[in-house]
Structure 1
Amino acid sequence: MKRPNDFIFRALAVIASLSLAGLSLLVIYSVVMRYVFSDAPDFVEPIALLLVIVIAMFGAALKVREGGHIGLDSLVKSLPEKGQLAAHTFQHLCLIALAVAIFFGSLQMAETTLHDKIPILGLPEALRYVIPVIASVCIALFSFENLLTLFAKKHK
């Protein structure tokens, strides 16, 4: 499971990095066009919103893989070894449950908005919800990998 997740992790990192770079360039372009040429382009805002969704959702998945998500480390570190294992297990099970909820909620929204169009861009509105669907699958995979790693360490 580690090797496929390594590939997914690298792909998400590249996509999120390119999205961040693209967002930065888009904002600079928009500011220059608006304040220097008094001609604000209409397409910047919907593209920027899509890029922000990619950065936020894929970034969250990347942090789950790295173990950098929000946690109560000071509390967990003060627990005995079995308590730490239980806390980490609970944490990853909660992340998997959250990923499942995001998956089904976003999938339902994507199906509902499939025939609607994003104004100005003309792309399907469902695109906004496909991004969290992909990210939720990655979050679940990474959390499951972390669970397997936890229990593999325990049995050594």
Structure 2
Amino acid sequence: MLATPTNEPDVAAGGRAQALAAPLDAYTRGCARLARACMWTSVFGLICLIIAVSLQIFGRHVLNSTPTWAESLALLLVLYVTMLGAAVGVRDAGHIGFESLLDALPAAGQRRLRIFIHLLVLLFGVLMAWNCGVLAESVAAYKIPNLGISNAWKYIPATLSGTLIALFSIEHIIAILRNQKVVPAWR
């Protein structure tokens, strides 16, 4: 008697889904670790920023001689702190959103619109990373006067942030397609 392959496609599809789930779960875990590392880096940068500004104030008001590098360092640190924080804000959905149109749609429409929104954010991240990388390359030969480092360091945070925004947008799209939610990095 011949066996009928009634449930073989289901088993094969389930096996493929299971095989695909592990890398997607690993990608999500990697994004969560990356977001946590970015937040800890931002916290460290914020502490350094506070120290640099405090030295600047102390130098100006107590020593009557402001350290020349403190302001330039503080401005550079602001870029790193805000750009890394912005990328994590995209991942953790900590940004401003208008939900009224989304709530007015049926469930299928909401899903499509969420994917479309994350595709737009992905495009924004890619374009930001690319163009800021081009800017960094174009000014790499110039130096930040008070720090003596390449002017490209001013554009690296936005390049990094754009890359992270793209990665985190992909994570959101995958989560929507899998009917899951992205768990914020700090939980």
For each residue in 1:79-132, what CA deviation from the matched residue of structure 2 results, as whole angstroms up to 9, or x when unmatched? 221222122112111111111111111111111111111111110111111121
Counterpart of 1:111 in structure 2: which amino acid?
E
Structure 2 partner of 1:74? 100
2:53 and 2:71 in contact (8 A); partners too = no
State whether structure 2 residue 52 is matched by structure 1 residue 26: yes
Residue aligned with 1:126, SS: helix
CA distance in 1, matches of 2:96, 2:119: 14
Q: Which residue in 1 is equivalent to 2:75?
A: 49
Among all aligned residue pairs of Structure 1 and Structure 2, give the percentage whose two residues are the same amino acid.
32
CA distance in 1, matches of 2:33, 2:85: 15
Q: Which residue of 1 aligns with 2:30?
A: 4
Structure 2: distance between partners of 1:136 and 1:47: 22
Distance in 2 of aligned mates of 1:135 and 1:91: 18
Q: 2:110 maps to which residue?
A: 84
Please list every run of 5 or more consecutive structure 2 residues that lacks an aligned counterpart in the other structure: 1-26, 181-187
1:137 aligns to 2:163 (yes or no): yes
- What is the identity, as a one-letter code, of the residue corresponding to 1:77? D
**TM-score scaled by structure 2?**
0.78
* Alpha-carbon distance between aligned partners in 2 of 1:44 and 1:150, rounded to the nearest angstrom: 45
Indicate which of 126, 140, 149 corresponds to 1:100.
Answer: 126
Q: What is the rounded CA distance, in whole Å, between the counterparts of 2:43 and 2:105 in structure 1?
A: 37
Q: Distance in 1 between matches of 2:112 and 2:62?
A: 58
Which aligned segments of 4 or more residues in structure 1 are displaced greater than 6 angstroms? none
Note if 1:114 corresponds to 2:174. no
Q: Which amino acid aligns with 1:86?
A: R
Q: Where in structure 1 are there 5+ consecutive unaligned residues?
A: none
Q: How many residues align?
A: 154
Distance 1:121 1:144 in 2: 37
Q: Does the aligned pair in 1 maintain the 2:55–2:67 contact within 8 Å?
A: no
Residue 151 of structure 1 corresponds to which residue in structure 2?
A: 177
Work out which of the two has the higher radius of gyration on C-alpha atoms and give 1 or 2. Answer: 2
TM-score (norm. length: structure 1)? 0.93
